[in-house]
Amino acid sequence: MGTTRAEKLAHLGLVTVRDALMHFPRDYRDFSGAHAVADLREGEHASIVGDVTDVGSRTLLSGRTMLTVVIASAGGRARATWFNMPFMAKRFAAGMKVVLAGQPKLKGSTWEFAHPDVRWLSGGEQAHASDWLAVYPLAEGVQQSHVRLAVQAALDHAAGICPEALPDEMLADKSLLPIEQAFREIHCPSSREMIDEARRRFVYQELFMLQLALRMHRGQQQRAKSAAPLSVDARLDARIRARFPFEFTPAQKRVCAEIAADMAQTEPMNRLLQGDVGSGKTAIAVYAMLAAVGTRVRPDASDRYQAAIMAPTELLARQHASTLERLLAGTGVEVQLLVGGQPAKQREKILARIGAGEAGIVIGTQALVCGTAMFKNLALVVIDEQHRFGVLQRAVLQQGQADPHTLVMTATPIPRTIAHAVYGDLDVSVLDEQPPGRQPVATYRVGPDDLDRWWDFFRKKLVAGRRGYVVVPAVEESKRDLTSIASAYESLTNGPLEAFRLGLIHGRLKPKAKAAVMEDFRAGRLDVLVATSVIEVGIDVPEATIMTILDAESFGLAQLHQLRGRVARGRVQGICGAVTSSQSDPHPRVDAFVATTDGFQLAEKDLLLRGPGDLVGTRQSGMPPLYLADLLRDGSVVAEARRDALDLFQRDPDLADPRLDRLQKLILDRWGDTLGLGKIG
């Protein structure tokens, strides 16, 4: 005997009755319509059950093969045909019981189904238990009929295993199906409409539970933790703003006010700042950090609070350090940079300054700051360019240390509904405005036939005084990539960009070498920086205003937009050419990229293209996957669930109502570990 059916089902994660119930169909097949040969109508969807009496294959004059299967049904015979699908022949044998579904046509005196849906009936399976047949996700060696039988058996125990968790009033209020009926309808629907109703019930419950979980998490955080209140009075506000060589945009002012209001509380701030590339998030971070550094720990002491900013790359950390040194020259605020490759002695010194509370602002990569630094008076943590940041990571970050306020900044905007679903316990600020004088980057798709003209244009702009980037793809920065980067560099220096001063930068370069190349480019000693996507994040050289992206098809949409952001920082309109290997074949990502420079629009498009399986904050955040809810498609349900959860918390902050006991237990089972719920108090 091979593996038993139970073992195979276990591969699918179907061990308990509950697992089987929660194994939701991925689709349905339509077996509705007439069921008797006498009732068939030309072109109207129908399904017929019968026994296979004849299977025949032949090759037509045209060279195509045609498979014909004849079935004998109670009211007469019907025929199914397939063209060029020889493998289908193996699946039929005389005597099998099958159901055919499709739109029949009358051929002579026999009804014929061309390429119908087929359902093979085994054992005691009912032909028409339901017109809508669930199609389940499968694993190797498991057949639809195995899963269907397991689910059928489980349905008989649904009431005992998965009792109703939502209070009756709520079901009535929101016209949701009761749980037992919802299980029945989702697995054995009685109609198309009921599939939608059942789905709505589960999606709502799932999102409602998630919102409640996030609220509970937040409540516990707030109860258990207290942060240093940092109040920014008018004087401090004016002093901070005076450090900047520009006036804040109205959006920046608004966001600064939102942050200042949060930080004035003894409850830790938990805020996500979304702002398109180039919208000036760094200034916001600096403002918040100076608010911390400008506040005394105690009125009678000289100690001041500390702030830390974490960047995803060392290059970006170094850039922040030099920005801050420039902005803070002469203020006496001590800025320390904590990055890899610093000699042990130097690192020790820096850590000592941090531990003694002398370093006011600490800049570093996340691994280093979280892993090594012990602060004396840390009051604020800023996390820059966080594209992948979810519930889990936050929970980890907030352990240890005192209880700093947290500001997370991202240039990869998440549609609001998704932000709410995934970051339901975060407040969200949006920088929806670019600094004055910015123009959208003129973006072109450059096909093979345009390439010569493009390089002509690129050279002319360099001669006219612009600096530029050429971006080459390197996904893994592996050895092979390095050769291809090196050869791309070669062919540029010996080809279209022969006459210019080129520098090369990529992820495998030693940090020091990277910083040196960057500095040469910044200072104008290089005309062109040939780079991999290491420049993708955050790099700010306002004089660089033209970019060529080679092999643009190989980049993600968010990445393309980030890259383009590098040439959108000056007063001169940026220009970007996306080089593609085909002249005009449609390419969804590149075409969307060329069509708009609005980061929010692109982010939604990106999600649509990548599909719900790849959502920011679900898989990436380490959250257990959602069973049914699709955060894009179910956006309005997310909003509804969030409203309802907020309402409920307002009425009953401790969820003390006994009618919520079951729901609360479900939430703890589902989210307790991820969110650390129920551990405190």
Distances (CA, A) of 537 to 89, 477, 478: 55, 16, 20
Residue 435 near ligand ADP by CB under 6 A: yes
Contact map string, positions 194 to 233, toward Mg ion, x by CB under 5 A: ----------------------------------------
Q: Given the rule CB under 6 A, which of 118-126, 243-251, 522-530, 613-621 is the region that contacts ligand ADP?
A: 243-251
Quote the least distance from Cβ 527 to Mg ion, whole Å: 24
Residue 545 near ligand ADP by CB under 6 A: no
Residue 411 near ligand ADP by CB under 6 A: yes
State the residue number with the nearest CB to ligand ADP.
Answer: 280
- Residue 249: contacted member of Mg ion, ligand ADP, none (CB under 5 to 8 Å, by partner type): ligand ADP
How far apart CA 383 and CA 40 sit, in angstroms, is: 65
Specify the length of the chain in residues. Answer: 681
Quote the least distance from Cβ 532 to Mg ion, whole Å: 19
Q: Closer CB to ligand ADP, residue 267 or residue 540? A: 540
- Write the CB contacts of 343 (distance below 8 Å, at least 6 apart in sequence): none
Q: Closer CB to ligand ADP, residue 420 or residue 569? A: 569
Per CB under 6 A, contacts with ligand ADP among 248-287 are 248-249, 252, 275, 277-283
Helix runs in 333-476, H state only? 344-355, 366-372, 391-397, 416-422, 451-463
Quote the least distance from Cβ 273 to ligand ADP, whole Å: 9
How far apart CA 528 and CA 468 sit, in angstroms, is: 5
Strand order in the sheet with 361-365: 335-338, 361-365, 306-311, 378-383, 405-410, 270-275, 427-431
From 112, 267, 520, 540, residue interacting with ligand ADP (rule: CB under 6 A): 540
- Residue 252: contacted member of Mg ion, ligand ADP, none (CB under 5 to 8 Å, by partner type): ligand ADP
- With vertex at residue 619, the alpha carbon angle to CA 538 and CA 629, rounded to the nearest 5 degrees, is 120
Contact map string, positions 367 to 406, toward ligand ADP, x by CB under 6 A: ----------------------------------------
User: Could you tell me if 678 and 672 are in contact, meaning their C-beta atoms sit under 8 angstroms apart?
Assistant: yes
- Residue 277: contacted member of ligand ADP, Mg ion, none (CB under 5 to 8 Å, by partner type): ligand ADP
- Report the SS3 class of residue 578: strand
Per CB under 5 A, contacts with Mg ion among 281-310 are 281
- Integer-rounded Cα radius of gyration of the chain: 31
How far apart CA 670 and CA 668 sit, in angstroms, is: 5
Residue 656 burial class via C-beta count within 10 angstroms: exposed 0-12, middle 13-18, buried 19 and up:
exposed
Burial code of 91-125, b = ≥16 C-beta within 10 A, e = fewer? ebeeebbbbbbbebeeeeeebbbeebbbbeeeeee
User: Could you tell me if 11 and 142 are in contact, meaning their C-beta atoms sit under 8 angstroms apart?
Assistant: yes
- Residue 542: contacted member of ligand ADP, Mg ion, none (CB under 5 to 8 Å, by partner type): ligand ADP
Quote the least distance from Cβ 282 to ligand ADP, whole Å: 3
Quote the least distance from Cβ 232 to ligand ADP, whole Å: 18
Residue 473 near ligand ADP by CB under 6 A: no
Quote the least distance from Cβ 384 to ligand ADP, whole Å: 7
Q: Which amino acid is at 250?
A: P
Question: Which residues on neighbouring strands pair with residue 404, listed in sequence order?
Answer: none
Question: Which residues on neighbouring strands pair with residue 100, listed in sequence order?
Answer: 48, 118
Per CB under 5 A, contacts with Mg ion among 256-285 are 281
User: Could you tell me if 394 and 406 are in contact, meaning their C-beta atoms sit under 8 angstroms apart?
Assistant: yes
How far apart CA 307 and CA 379 sit, in angstroms, is: 6
Q: How many residues bind ligand ADP (CB under 6 A)?
A: 19
Q: Given the rule CB under 6 A, which of 194-202, 347-355, 538-546, 598-606 is the region that contacts ligand ADP?
A: 538-546
How far apart CA 445 and CA 589 sit, in angstroms, is: 11
Q: Given the rule CB under 6 A, which of 40-48, 247-255, 396-404, 659-667 is the region that contacts ligand ADP?
A: 247-255
Q: Closer CB to ligand ADP, residue 435 or residue 672? A: 435
- Residue 562: contacted member of ligand ADP, Mg ion, none (CB under 5 to 8 Å, by partner type): none
Per CB under 6 A, contacts with ligand ADP among 551-570 are 565, 569
- Report the SS3 class of residue 34: strand
3-state secondary structure 502-538: EEEECCCCCHHHHHHHHHHHHHCCCCEEEECHHHCCC
From 107, 246, 250, 303, residue interacting with ligand ADP (rule: CB under 6 A): 246
Q: Closer CB to Mg ion, residue 313 or residue 417? A: 313
Per CB under 6 A, contacts with ligand ADP among 29-48 are none
Quote the least distance from Cβ 383 to Mg ion, whole Å: 12
Residue 599 near Mg ion by CB under 5 A: no
The token pair that represents 291 in the structure block: 């608010």
Residue 542 near ligand ADP by CB under 6 A: yes
Q: Closer CB to ligand ADP, residue 11 or residue 571? A: 571
Quote the least distance from Cβ 319 to Mg ion, whole Å: 9
- Residue 32: contacted member of Mg ion, ligand ADP, none (CB under 5 to 8 Å, by partner type): none
- Residue 445: contacted member of Mg ion, ligand ADP, none (CB under 5 to 8 Å, by partner type): none
Of 136, 117, 96, 95, which Cα lies nearest the Cα of 48?
A: 117
With residue 653 as reference, give the H or E element that holds it. Answer: none
Quote the least distance from Cβ 575 to ligand ADP, whole Å: 17
From 104, 360, 538, 574, residue interacting with Mg ion (rule: CB under 5 A): 538
Q: Closer CB to Mg ion, residue 357 or residue 538? A: 538
Of 283, 292, 282, 235, which Cα lies nearest the Cα of 260?
A: 292
Contact map string, positions 569 to 598, toward ligand ADP, x by CB under 6 A: x-----------------------------
How far apart CA 188 and CA 78 sit, in angstroms, is: 26
Residue 611 burial class via C-beta count within 10 angstroms: exposed 0-12, middle 13-18, buried 19 and up:
exposed
The bridge status of strand 427-431 relative to strand 335-338 is unpaired
User: Could you tell me if 406 and 381 are in contact, meaning their C-beta atoms sit under 8 angstroms apart?
Assistant: yes
Quote the least distance from Cβ 83 to ligand ADP, whole Å: 56
Residue 167 near ligand ADP by CB under 6 A: no
Q: Which residues contact Mg ion (rule: CB under 5 A)?
A: 281, 538
Query: What is the contact surface with ligand ADP in residues (CB under 6 A)?
Result: 246, 248-249, 252, 275, 277-283, 411, 435, 538, 540, 542, 565, 569
